[in-house]
């Protein structure tokens, strides 16, 4: 770099911007007095307007230079261009068209060189050289780099991006410039449009690089642990980014368990993608430290709120024990998981939850639900894009997902994942024989967790349900009825289904009302279709054995055992080492009334 005055000219960005603006204003001053000149100026203004609109849509610097080259005519004999940027010590070419190497991509000069582009960087003012003689006289040491037969003029113009002088645009002409003042003003306007185009191109490249990096990390979900298999799919929104606010992760925990998380940050823009990356990393760190599901979500919620972005996120985090199949699940405003039984029956598993992450927590924060995954059962976690895309609501979208998830066997977990994707979004055929890609109007994240069979003893045709209702979960009765109806979705007699729901509700309600303990419901279906048997058991830890009573017409209770006598095909009470179990059975081919 040269002396102090030149340094000050380079560093005084406000002065540079004012100089550029003053030169840009020259573009609005008419320089022709004849009608022909005015007509020509009007045409050039129209060409510049069209070029400005096209520059706004370019995605690369090369495209921008090609568009500018179309402005060449007799009045503007443009034959080559280059774009230069500066770093701490050098000026180098980042893009060129129509130039040889010593003016193009091989160009690299120290910032203390005597060169017209370096002078533009120092002063913020354009340098217009109207002849080879002028170039040779003003910049003798740089003339050897520009000496080329047929070139008659050069224009070096400042490029302002993000409010700062960051580069130089070189325009090279193969004929003398006829009206030098007007050409200079015109070129300054082009340089200003080019600077705006560069901003958009760099912003787009930065967004693309961010989304590409995040997208790559989404493909690295772990395969699971021995006894647990994981399959995952991610489909970005159609907004141009390769990743949005949805994410998933698989974490091997210090306890030997497997942590799985799925979430959705509000929005589909690059800001949502950035927040997603931070939140995903934070949750991974909290889980790796050994915190339980409720503590992980509580910490993640406070972390997201501390970022001050005024966005929330939904999330499910679970710990899976590969030995027992026990799942401990915490939910933050996210869609409920889906349980696929070994025979393909799919149940919407209602788990307790708290507010989305980033919102003010209540006293209960994020309660933990416990369930057991049996062999060949699959738990599906997804974001709302899988359910609601294509104009579906939560109900119709759930029916579509269930129809895609039920067929097939549990052994082909990747096939199940692909079939779900095909049911929701149209695939783009692969170009290299790999798995097809997908495109949708909303982000989709999908996780499938299967408990692998220990051997050939696993019954692939079994169908069962187990859930626990705590004393503070009276509202969970409705969820239990929904899951039980799903278990019996293909039962031959709808009257039996209504009977099963009624009797199960009575038994669960009796535990919640007359004891101080939780109620555990287990339902199991066995036998061949058309001759199946349903057995439902409700267990609690109370030693008090129920007795049959004769309630009056206006009595609000006491009918439970009476209904069992009237409606169940078989029932009884079984004492347990710690409490009791009341059970009943229904036969699919049995009578449907008392």
pLDDT per position as a tens digit, 503-551: 999 999 888 888 888 888 999 888 888 888 999 999 998 877 776 655 5
Asked whether residue 268 carries a pLDDT value surpassing 80, the answer given is: no
CB 139 within 8 A of CB 44: no
CB 405 within 8 A of CB 416: yes
pLDDT at 12: 39
Q: Which residues contact 562 (CB under 8 A, 6 or more apart)?
A: 548, 549, 550, 551
Asked whether residue 249 carries a pLDDT value surpassing 80, the answer given is: yes
Distance CA 328, CA 320 (A): 7
Q: How far is CA 549 from the centre of its chain?
A: 58
- Counting DSSP H helices and E strands in the chain, the numbers are 16, 24
Angle at 96 between CA 94 and CA 102, to 5 degrees: 90
CB 276 within 8 A of CB 245: yes
CB 496 within 8 A of CB 588: yes
Rg (CA), the chain: 36
Angle at 406 between CA 401 and CA 475, to 5 degrees: 65
State both tokens at 241: 């980014």
pLDDT at 30: 37
Kindly state the average pLDDT of the residues 372-398: 86
Rounded to the nearest integer, the mean pLDDT of the chain is 78
| 55-67 pLDDT tens trace | 766 667 778 888 8
Distance CA 503, CA 557 (A): 13
The residue ranking higher by pLDDT, 182 or 9, is 182
Largest CA distance in the chain: 118
Long-range CB pairs of 203-207, under 8 A, 24+ apart, other chains included: 204/59, 207/240, 207/241, 207/270
pTM over 0.75: no
For residue 89, the tally of other CB atoms under 10 A from its CB is: 10
The residue ranking higher by pLDDT, 267 or 227, is 227
The residue ranking higher by pLDDT, 463 or 371, is 371
Distance CA 230, CA 222 (A): 7
pLDDT at 310: 84
Looking at residue 227, the DSSP 8-state letter turns out to be: T
pLDDT at 20: 37
pLDDT band for position 377 (cuts 50, 70, 90): very high
Looking at residue 390, the DSSP 8-state letter turns out to be: G
Helix (H, G, I), strand (E, B) or coil at 209: helix
pLDDT at 34: 38
Asked whether residue 100 carries a pLDDT value surpassing 70, the answer given is: no
Domains in the chain: ranges and CATH: 4-209 (3.30.450.40), 219-451 (3.60.40.10), 463-587 (3.30.565.10)
pLDDT band for position 486 (cuts 50, 70, 90): confident
pLDDT at 223: 61
The listed range with the strongest mean pLDDT (191-205, 331-345, 426-440) is: 331-345
Asked whether residue 116 carries a pLDDT value surpassing 90, the answer given is: yes
Asked whether residue 228 carries a pLDDT value surpassing 80, the answer given is: yes
Distance CA 539, CA 519 (A): 6
Asked whether residue 22 carries a pLDDT value surpassing 50, the answer given is: no
């Amino acid at each position: 770099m040269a002396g102090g005055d030149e340094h000050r000219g380079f560093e005084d960005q406000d002065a540079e911007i004012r100089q550029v603006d003053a030169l840009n204003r020259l573009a609005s001053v008419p320089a022709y007095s004849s009608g022909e000149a005015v007509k020509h100026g009007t045409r050039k203004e129209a060409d510049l307007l069209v070029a400005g609109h096209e520059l706004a849509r370019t995605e690369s610097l090369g495209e921008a230079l090609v568009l500018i080259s179309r402005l060449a005519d007799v009045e503007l004999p443009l034959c080559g261009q280059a774009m230069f940027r500066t770093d701490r010590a050098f000026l180098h070419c980042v893009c060129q068209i129509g130039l040889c190497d010593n003016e193009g991509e091989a160009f690299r000069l120290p910032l203390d060189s005597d060169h017209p582009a370096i002078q533009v960087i120092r002063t913020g003012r354009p340098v217009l050289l109207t002849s080879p003689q002028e170039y040779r006289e003003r910049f003798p040491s740089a003339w050897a780099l520009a000496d080329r037969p047929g070139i008659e003029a050069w224009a070096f113009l400042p490029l302002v991006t993000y409010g700062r002088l960051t580069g130089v645009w070189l325009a090279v002409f193969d004929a003398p410039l006829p009206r030098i003042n007007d050409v200079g003003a015109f070129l300054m306007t082009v340089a200003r449009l080019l600077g705006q185009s560069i901003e958009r191109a760099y912003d787009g490249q930065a967004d693309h690089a961010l989304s590409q990096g995040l997208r790559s990390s989404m493909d690295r979900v772990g395969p699971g642990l021995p006894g647990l298999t994981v399959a995952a799919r991610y489909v970005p929104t159609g907004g141009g980014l390769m990743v949005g606010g949805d994410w998933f992760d698989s974490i091997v925990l210090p306890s030997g368990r497997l942590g799985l998380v799925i979430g959705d940050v509000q929005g589909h823009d690059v800001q949502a993608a950035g927040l997603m990356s931070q939140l995903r990393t934070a949750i991974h760190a909290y889980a790796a430290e050994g915190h339980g599901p409720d503590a992980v979500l509580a910490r993640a919620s406070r972390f997201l709120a501390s970022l001050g972005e005024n966005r929330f996120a939904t999330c499910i985090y679970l710990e899976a024990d590969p030995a027992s199949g026990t799942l401990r699940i915490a939910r933050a405003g996210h869609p409920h998981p889906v349980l696929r039984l070994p025979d393909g029956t799919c149940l919407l598993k209602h788990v307790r939850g708290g507010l989305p992450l980033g919102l003010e927590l209540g006293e209960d924060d994020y309660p933990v639900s416990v369930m057991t995954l049996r062999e060949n059962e699959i738990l599906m976690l997804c974001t709302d894009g899988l359910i609601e895309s294509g104009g579906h609501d939560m109900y119709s979208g759930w029916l579509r997902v269930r129809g895609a998830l039920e067929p097939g066997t549990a052994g082909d977990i990747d096939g199940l994942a692909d079939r779900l994707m095909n049911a929701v979004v149209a695939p783009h055929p692969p170009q290299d024989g790999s798995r097809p890609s997908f495109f949708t109007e909303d982000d989709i994240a999908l996780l499938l967790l299967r408990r692998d069979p220990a051997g050939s003893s696993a019954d692939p045709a079994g169908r069962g349900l187990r859930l626990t209702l705590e004393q503070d979960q009276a509202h969970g009765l409705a969820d239990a009825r929904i899951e039980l109806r799903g278990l019996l979705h293909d039962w031959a007699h709808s009257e039996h289904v209504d009977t099963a729901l009624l009797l199960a509700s009575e038994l669960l309600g009796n535990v919640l009302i007359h004891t101080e303990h939780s109620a555990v419901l287990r339902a199991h279906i066995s036998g061949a279709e058309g001759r199946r048997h349903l057995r439902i058991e409700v267990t609690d830890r109370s030693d008090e054995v129920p007795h049959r009573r004769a309630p009056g017409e206006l009595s609000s209770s006491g009918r439970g055992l009476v209904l069992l006598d009237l409606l169940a095909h078989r029932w009884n009470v079984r004492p347990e080492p710690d409490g009791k179990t009341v059970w009943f059975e229904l036969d699919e081919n049995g009578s449907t009334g008392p």
